[in-house]
Amino acid sequence: MKPSAERFRKTGLISGIFAIFAVAGILVVLNMIAARHDTTFDLTSNRRFTLSEQSVQVLNGLDDRVQATSFFRETDEAFEIVKDLLDQYRDASKAFSYRSADLDKEPMLGKRFDITSDQTIVLEYGNRFRKIVNPTEHDVTNALIRLTRGDDPKRIIFTRGNGELDIDSLESGGLGFLKAALSDMNYSCESMNLMTVEAVPSDCALLAVIGPESDPVEDVVAMIRQFVTDGGRLFIALEPGKADRFRDMLADFGIHAGNDVIIDPKGFQSTIRPIIEAFEEHPVTEGFDYGLVLHEASSMQPLDPPKPGWHVMKLALTSVDSWSEAGPVADTPVFDPGLDTQGPLSVITIATASGKTAPEQRESRVLAIGDASFVSNIFFQTFAAHAPFILNACHWLADEHDLIAIPPKEIVSQPLLLQTPQLAVGLVVPVIIMPLLVALFGTVRIWTRRHHS
Amino acid sequence: MKAFWTIVRRDLTGYFLSPVFYALGTVFLLLTGLLFFSNLLVYTEISFSIMQNPYFSQMLNLSADFIRPLAAQFAVIFLFIIPALTMRSFAEERRSGTLELMLTYPVSDTQVILAKFCSSFLTMCLILTMTLVYPVLLFTWGTPEIAPIASAYVGLMCMAAQFIAIGIFASSVTDNQIVSALVAFGLNLVFWMIGWASPSSHGTIHDLMRFLSIIEHYEPMIKGILKITDLLYFLSVSCFFLFLTGQVLESKKWRG
């Protein structure tokens, strides 16, 4: 081979390699620049793959990296949902990254975070971490707030001893899901029989009385009354016709707990399940645009005349078609103008007053609901709007203003209830007609060409 | 530009007169049709079974639970179909000896490559257009969101463009069509699988694998999300492989 041809070949090879690297470099730089100034268009109707403004604000405020570890298996139904969610956080902030882990392959990682089952994510921030089971945007954002703030958990005491709902029960009538949700948000939840103590503990951020079956002793009522008057916070949910002493106690805070049952002709599957869609403006209902479903609820109306010193506000109202049935509820209830009260009626009411004896004059706050099952596991899980509403109420009561409730994005339900003829079309058109048309057209075309030639 | 369109027309005519196009079209429509029907059956079954529970019925959505998985399955068929479509681009010209002849025409290598790309892309778009019958059927039975469907089709076209560019490159390095198809399939698989390990990795390697993974860029599109970075990724990889094809053709001059 001639030396000049060899030189020509070498030059060609070197310049070719150089050109390839140069073009690759230019393309990489272009992509890096684009990544810094990326624009995303969420084309879904309710922008369900876009984080809420609150979440973006929290992410923008991160001053250190957050590492999320997802303990979900690919076979889990929620795997894709959680991946989509974490993708949104990662895309919204360079400080947020995530990885997937398999408990079987990385058991030490599970031990490090004390994780024994799947369907959990862990958020690490500095030397702190938080676990979230079955995470939603609401959970992740609030966990981030907690992590970055790094404060001690606030104490929530649930009363027991009078047949209240059990905070450790995962049965449909328990409060296990509420407890888990509150614990995920760094609240410390415990149950307490108030008959065993002299006073409600002073570090109790929120006292919850959920669904007592029987009357408490008068000392317990006095204890709670004193706690609230001293600037304490009370979350009380009562079933109609039960625990009259608690009902009477509410009158001291300016709330009239009706001994009635709300009937809603347009209720959810039953007239005794009113749908609540009217809310007054309040931090608890801020940005809340969803419906709540109650089951055998009683009214919680402001006392008439009002209780001096207390400011009472109707928070959630039944529909105009509803009424409160004063007597026993018939199979097909009918409105009796003489006995019953026409809606809209308040079923969730709040009362506030200036704390009298607390040194910092802490505001007394009471939130009363005329239904306890509203908070129970079955309703908490079945109706997606219940959790953010209840958690928002707890945040407001416990003075956790910066914790926020992000309602779940509503997914448009689009079931396809196709009958056999429609399914036949779905089989014949795509599987038979379309491929056959192309095959026939091709055969005719090629045959014609051959015939002509 | 006249020469460019002449080559495009010549290649398109070659496709439409070749049994390969009709065979590929038939197989592609048969497979996608079967996927459409099997997804339709499952979706209908789930629809009936969850109608009793209002909570679960709220979670059944055509975009999320029908179109997204279907578009993901279509992409798998692209892995096999597109190498078969592009395998003859340069390999056939090289085997029959017409490549040298074409390169003597008053037309640049870039024009030849772009014309080949354009004809293959138009052919693939034509095949893809025939699948529009599926969304049409969906619209007659229900009310799917149109934007995520459009976004999924943009994703499919982007993926087709990348696979075609890779296929043309593979076709330029060999005169054997089978080898060309296998090389293209292998390269496509690399871009497909490279992201599989990224969730368990960290740092720069993690970022690099995510960037190169075609799935990472395709998935948002079938969800209904269009990102400038994803579109740029498909454009970049396609351009890079077309550039590599140019370098292979160029190398003929100094390799002798």
**Given this model, what pLDDT does residue A423 score?**
93
Structure tokens at A319: 């529909």
Asked whether residue A156 falls in the same domain as residue A106, the answer is no
d(CA A324, CA A264): 9
Residues A256 and A360 in one domain: yes
- What CATH number is attached to the domain comprising A89? 3.40.30.10
A83 half-sphere exposure, CB direction, 13 A CA radius = 16
Local structure of A397: helix, strand or coil: helix
A127 or A163: which leads in pLDDT:
A163
A446 domain residue, yes or no: no
Measured between beta carbons, the chain A residues lying within 8 angstroms of B50 are 415
Percent of chain A with pLDDT over 90: 41
* Contact (CB<8Å) B227/A19: no
A162 close to A215: Cβ distance less than 8 angstroms = yes
Is the separation of the CB atoms in A296 and A358 below 8 Å? Answer: no
Q: How many domains does chain A have?
A: 2
Range of the domain at A121: 53-138
Distance from CA of B91 to the nearest CA of A (A): 21
What is the pLDDT at residue A5?
Answer: 73
In this prediction, residue A349 carries a pLDDT of 96
Partners of residue B250 in chain A, C-beta under 8 Å: 12, 16
Query: How far, in Å, CA of A418 to CA of A159, rounded?
Result: 51
Is A363 part of any domain? yes
Q: Of A131, A130, A67, nearest to A100 (Cα)?
A: A67
Q: Is residue A244 part of a domain?
A: yes
Amino acid identity for residue B210 in this structure? R
* Residue at A258 is within a domain: yes
Q: B-chain residues within 8 Å CB-CB of A46?
A: none
- Which of A364, A368, A366, A342 has the alpha carbon at shortest distance from A355? A364
Q: What is the pLDDT along chain B (256 residues), one digit of tens a residue?
A: 777 888 899 889 888 888 889 999 999 999 999 999 999 999 998 888 776 655 555 568 888 889 999 999 999 999 999 999 999 888 877 777 777 777 777 788 899 899 999 999 999 999 999 999 999 999 999 889 999 999 999 999 999 999 999 999 999 998 889 999 999 999 999 999 998 876 666 678 878 888 899 999 999 999 999 999 999 999 999 999 999 999 998 887 777 6
Lowest mean pLDDT among A262-271, A358-367, A434-443, B29-38: A358-367
What is the model's pLDDT at position B4? 85
Let me know if residue A45 belongs to a domain. no
Residues with Cβ within 8 Å of residue A33, at least 6 apart in sequence:
none
For residue A156, the model assigns a pLDDT of 95
pLDDT at B69 (0 to 100): 93
Compute the average pLDDT of residues A360-370: 87
Sequence ranges of the domains in chain B: 2-255
Q: Are both A348 and A315 inside the same structural domain?
A: yes
A64 plus A90 within the same structural domain: yes
Residue where a domain terminates, one of A353, A374, A397: A397
CA–CA gap between residue A144 and residue A61 (Å, rounded) = 10
Rounded Cα distance between A147 and A144, Å, is: 5
Q: What is the dihedral of CA B167, B122, A42, A124, to 10 degrees?
A: 0
Query: End of a domain among A81, A106, A138?
Result: A138
pLDDT at A325 (0 to 100)? 86
Token pair, residue B220, equals: 């948002």
Establish if A227 belongs to a structural domain: yes
Does the beta carbon of A26 lie under 8 angstroms from any beta carbon of chain B? no
Residue B241, token pair as written in the block: 């492989």
Give tens-digit pLDDT for B89-125: 888 777 777 777 777 777 888 998 999 999 999 999 9
| pLDDT at residue A1 tops 60 | no
Answer whether residue A429 is part of any domain. Answer: no
A434 touches chain B (CB under 8 A): yes
Distance of CA A219 to the CA centre of its chain: 37
Which has the closest alpha carbon to B17: A443, A438, A447, A446? Answer: A446
Burial profile B189-228: b = 16 or more Cβ within 10 angstroms, e = fewer: eebbebbeebbeeeeeebeebbbbbbbbbbbbbbbbbbbe
In order, the DSSP letters of A77-136 are: TTHHHHHHHHHHHHHH-TTEEEEE--TTT-HHHHHHTT--SSSEEEEEETTEEEEEES--
Rounded Cα gap, residues A270 and A383, in angstroms: 16
Distance from CA of A351 to the nearest CA of B (A): 33
Q: Looking at this protein, which amino acid is placed at residue A426?
A: G
Residue A252 and residue A369 share a domain:
yes
What average pLDDT score do residues A356-381 get?
A: 82
Count of all residues that appear for chain A in the document: 453
CA gyration radius, chain A: 31
Per-residue model confidence as pLDDT tens digits over A287-331: 777 788 899 999 999 998 888 989 999 999 999 999 988 877 777
- What is the structure's pLDDT at B98? 77
Q: In what helix (H) or strand (E) does residue A266 lie, and over which residues does it extend?
A: none
A70, A170: one domain: no
Q: What is the pLDDT of residue B236?
A: 96
The pLDDT score that the predictor gives to residue B256 is: 62
DSSP assignments along B85-130, one per residue: HHTTTTHHHHHHTHHHHHHTSSS-HHHHHHHHHHHHHHHHHHHHHH
Indicate which CATH number applies to the domain containing A331: 3.40.50.880
For residue A95, is pLDDT > 70?
A: yes
Residues A189 and A257 in one domain: yes
Whether the CB of B132 is below 8 Å from some CB of chain A: the reply is no
What does the alpha-carbon distance between residue A59 and residue B67 come to, in Å, rounded to a whole number? 31
H/E run at residue A261? strand A261-263
Contact A442 B19 (CB under 8 A): yes
- Among residues A380, A397, A414, which one ends one of the domains? A397
- Residue-level length of chain B: 256
- Spell out a b/e string for A334-354, using b for 16 or more CB atoms within 10 Å of the CB, else e: ebeeeebbebbbbbbbbbbbe
Q: How far apart are CA A122 and CA A68, in angstroms?
A: 6
> Which residue bears the tokens 């190398």?
B251
Q: Are B150 and A43 an interchain contact pair (Cβ–Cβ within 8 Å)?
A: yes
* Chain B residues in contact with A44 (beta carbon < 8 A): 63, 145, 147-148, 223-225
- Half-sphere exposure (Cβ direction) of B60: Cα atoms closer than 13 Å: 23
- Give which of A300, A404, A281, A385 is closest to A349, Cα–Cα: A300
Centroid of chain to Cα A107: 29
**What confidence tens digit (pLDDT) does each residue in A129-170 have?**
888 877 888 889 888 888 887 767 889 999 999 999 999 998
Same domain? For A68 and A97 the reply is yes
Look at the alpha carbons of B21, B25, B26, B28 in this order and tell me if their dihedral is positive or negative.
Answer: positive
Residues A181-224: pLDDT tens digits? Answer: 888 777 889 999 999 999 999 899 999 999 999 999 999 999 99
Q: Which residues of B touch A410 (CB under 8 A)?
A: 58
Residue A357 DSSP class: S
Q: Could you tell me if the ipTM is greater than 0.85?
A: yes
pLDDT for position A194: 93
Determine contact: A14 vs chain B, CB below 8 A. no
Q: Please, which residues 99-128 of chain B have a Cβ atom closer than 8 Å to chain A?
A: none
Please list the helix, strand and coil fractions of chain A in percent, rounded to the nearest 5, in that order: 35, 20, 45
Reported confidence tier of residue A79, pLDDT bands at 50, 70, 90: confident
> Does some domain include residue A437?
no
The CA-atom distances, in angstroms, between A323 and each of A118, A329, A351 are 46, 12, 23
Q: How confident is the model at residue A407 (pLDDT cuts 50, 70, 90)?
A: low
pLDDT computed for residue A366 by the predictor: 95
The pLDDT, as a whole number, for residue A326 is 80
Judgement on whether residues A162 and A125 belong to the same structural domain of the protein:
no
